[in-house]
Amino acid sequence: MMAQYLEIKSAYPDCLLFYRMGDFYELFFEDAEVASRVLSIALTKRGKHQGNDIPMCGVPVDRADDYLLRLIAAEQRVAVCEQVEDPAEAKKRGPKSVVRREVIRLVTPGTITEERLLEPGQANLFLTIARRKQADESWMYGLAAVDISTGRFVLAESDQANLAAAIARLEPREIVLPEQIYYDEELLGFWREIRTSVTPLAGSGFESSSAEQRLRDYYNVASLDAFGSFSRPEIAAAGIALFYIEKTQFDDKPVLLPPIAEANGTTLSIDAATRANLELTRTLSGERNGSLLATIDRTQTPGGTRLLAEWLAGPLMEPTRIHRRQDAVAFFVENTPLRDNIRAVLKKIPDISRALSRLGLGRSGPRDLAALRDGLFAARELSGLLDRQQGELPQALTSIIRTITSLDTSVADELAALLDDELPLLKRDGGFIRPGAIPELDETRELQQDSRRFIASLQAQYATELDCRTLRIKHNNMLGYYIEVPQNVGQEMFQNQREKYVHRQTMSDAMRFTTVELGELEAKIASASDRALRIELGIFDRLCNTIVGQSRDIAATAAALAAADVFAGLAELAVELAWVRPHVDESLAFHIEGGRHPVVEAALRRDGKSFIANGCDLSSPETSSNPGGQILLITGPNMGGKSTYLRQNALIAILAQMGAFVPATEARIGIVDRLFSRVGAADDLARGRSTFMVEMVETAAILNQATARSLVILDEIGRGTSTFDGLSIAWAAIENLHEINRCRSLFATHFHELTVLSEKLSRLENATLKVTEWKGEVVFLHEVTSGAADRSYGLQVARLAGLPTAVINRAKVILAELERSDREQPKRAIIDDLPLFAMAQAQTRVPEVTEIPEPKDDPLRKALEDIDPDSMTPREALEALYLLKNKAQ
């Protein structure tokens, strides 16, 4: 047996081998040590290999999914090795013959399909990457994203500069690529540092020509033209995806929709850092709760939730497509009764896409058939509700009706007639066909029931015959049916009636026997049970084949239902929270009135508080001969709401371009091609980057890539280094945004010196967050107004945070001295001498900076030091207080 294990394991060295032995999957050697550690299960030993004990551990087959989930979460790959031969057949070759076993499947993070291993509302993509050299010697990368659990198959292209952003948008669970790309010196660091499982494939044969043939064979078509136009890198990536499916699924062929190519420039580009900063689908701690996705999700189906996440990850850049989505949302906003009825129907729909995938892979059960039945019935009902509407429907909704009505749903009627109300999880358990549906099956089941009644009758007969009230006829997998009696009765039977009652087993307090008629009855029951199961399995396979034959139409219907769910959910959100339809066009406008941060507002609403709305205008002047977006330079107190204001405007742009309504009273947004965000402080010590280094890397990416159509939000640039270094970097970055990038920008800072730039930069305006003081307490008003802040209230925030009083008081003294020194030697002259960015590029002069002088002696402090409060009378203390007051004045 171990020889067989080692032979199989040698073919899968990078996987943990689940080696089937009876009711357990066993692991040996290093696999056992890894699994024992990850799964927290006992590590034992069995036999020896080359003189050493063989480590061993195992998991029950019926609980394997739970353990697979934990192994996949630990980024392990598992090869499932099953017994593919009946043990009785193996014995025919000799008493010591080993049952034949084969690996039937590889389980990897991107190829799981089991319902219990998947997040219902989250896609489970694996991404394959290929590349092809262009005429200018640069590389163009092809990407193929496949979700085996739903059949989604998307192709895209990217150059090397945007590869990371393209991967971040798709959020794959696993990346698969040829070794040549993995070991490319320019990319090797990226693959090793990326927070996704990366699988390099050895060998060649991944060129586009062989990939095209693989695609044609998979879909059984003579040409790919019917699916659209694909580039060579895209075809090569698609071929690698199909190769990987064959490698991991073996003979099982998942139901995949035809590949869809996403053209370059059709979605808003958002890099990985910006996605993380804005917490689009996950918070910075990795949680879904608290993200924008969780806040706006009002969908009723798993498919709808996945589609909403897909739209949020890739907002559109074509106003026409955005308007189609907005029209559908607006239709549901205006038709509340219909929206309520549609959502009630959607709530009944199971996860059709994943049930269909399991049917195609042969991993399905009766409940998957029921999911298809219920989903198709709901689709028919939803289509009827939309079709009965008076007036013209939006184009997106008429497309949904067409898709659903083109599907032959007669299989749903057949499923309803055949499937029982209560269904087992596994088809091998039988009992899922409704009584009365199949006469032949009913006859076989009746025979089973009669046989069981006969066993009860036989038990009563034996009990009377042997005068033993405690006699029982029982069953187990080893002995089959047997008679169990107490020890004293068994001894008498063994001595006096051994011809009729054949001894089988002796227990500590009982004995077990069988009879000829009991054996014959057992054979009859087993035969009836096997026959009934064969009938049911035959019906199951026939239904599966019928459904898989319609898989493309059913998958399209599932996609249509998901779209209807998203439209209705976004409408529900808009009505619930009073969101408005934004005007999206090709201009460079960015005008928001009454804008709100959707996530923060939701948190405040839960606490019974309201959100202070603020407007924002970054629009490029339409009459300008030198167009470019506005830059809003925001100063204000710590805790005043600057970061919230920055993020809310970026989120409004994303929501608008994904086709949703937005949290504002009015919004006009010109298409944004790239969204950049540098908000918050974080280090990356694993890559040797300090907080400031991470800040500079992200800022560099923004300044190097932002275009006039981009939206940039920057927070506290330059605060991670010395005052003058940071000020100079922030200054130069603003000038670059104004003169070179010319994009719409929000720039928050505590460098108040930067506010004078509004006098030199025509498209820069100052804004501040209002604050007031009441009885010595700072009150944040969270209202954005024009102008510049005169202070940051850092000491007040420090006091609120709990810094010791002595530290706060000392800081006040130091701050007063620094402010006095700054008044005596203002830096305004230096600022006036600095040329603009465009002029400064031709100059090398570095402005002089006057150092802050040492603070002078403080007579008030000296007087305080001379006071000894422990030796003073109350009158002397009062006189000393008046003296100090006079000195302060």
CA pair distance 592, 616, nearest whole angstrom: 5
Whether 515 contacts 473, CB under 8 Å: no
In DSSP terms, 103 is beta-bridged to 81
Q: Check residue 362 and give left, alpha or beta (phi > 0: left; psi -120 to 50: alpha).
A: left
What is the enclosing helix (H) or strand (E) of 887?
A: helix 874-888
d(CA 261, CA 230): 7
What is the Cα 393 distance to its own chain's centre? 33
Edge to edge, what strands does the sheet with 269-270 contain? 269-270, 674-678, 711-715, 744-748, 631-635, 764-774, 777-786
How far is residue 384's CA from residue 372's CA, in Å, rounded to a whole number? 18
Residue 314 is labelled as binding a ligand: no
Residues near 423 by Cβ (< 8 Å), separated by ≥ 6?
365, 366, 367, 370, 432
Cβ-proximal residues to 659 (8 Å cutoff; 6+ apart), any chain: 311, 316, 321, 322, 324, 325, 326, 329, 570
As given in the structure block, the two tokens for residue 532 are: 């009934």
Q: How far is CA 156 from CA 148, 233, 280, 311, in A?
A: 18, 9, 22, 16
As a whole number of angstroms, the distance between CA 305 and CA 563 comes to 10
Q: Is 545 annotated as a binding residue?
A: no
Please state, in angstroms and rounded to a whole number, the distance separating the CA atoms of residues 794 and 140.
49
SS (H, E, C) 235-258: HHHHHHHHHHHHHHHCCCCCCCCC
CB neighbourhood size of 812 (10 A): 11
For residue 203, say whether it is annotated as part of any ligand binding site.
no
Other beta carbons within 10 angstroms of residue 173's beta carbon come to 21
> Is 641 annotated for ligand binding?
yes
User: Measuring CA to CA, which residue among 607, 612, 451 is closest to residue 527?
Assistant: 451
Whole-number Å distance between alpha carbons of 217 and 223: 10
C-alpha distances (whole Å) from 359 to each of 243, 306, 423, 551 are 21, 20, 16, 10
Instruction: Give the 3-state secondary structure of residue 612.
Output: coil
Tell how strand 590-595 and strand 583-585 pair up: unpaired
Closest CA to 682 of 695, 701, 672: 695
What are the residue ranges of helices labelled H in 620-676? 642-658
C-alpha to C-alpha distance for 344 and 588, rounded to whole angstroms? 41
Distances (CA, A) of 802 to 360, 792, 797, 806: 61, 18, 9, 11
What does the chain come to in residues? 889
The DSSP symbol for 425 reads S
Compute the 3-state secondary structure of the chain and give helix, strand, coil in percent, each to the nearest 5.
50, 20, 30
Q: Does 638 carry a binding-site annotation?
A: yes
CA–CA distance, 885 with 889 (Å, rounded to integer):
6
Query: Measured between alpha carbons, how far is 212 from 217 in angstroms, rounded to an integer?
Result: 9
Rounded CA-CA distance 17/30 in Å is 10
372: Cα within 13 Å, side-chain hemisphere: 33
Q: Is 120 annotated as a binding residue?
A: no
157 secondary structure, DSSP code? E
List the binding residues for ATP: 636-643
Known binding-site residue numbers: 636-643
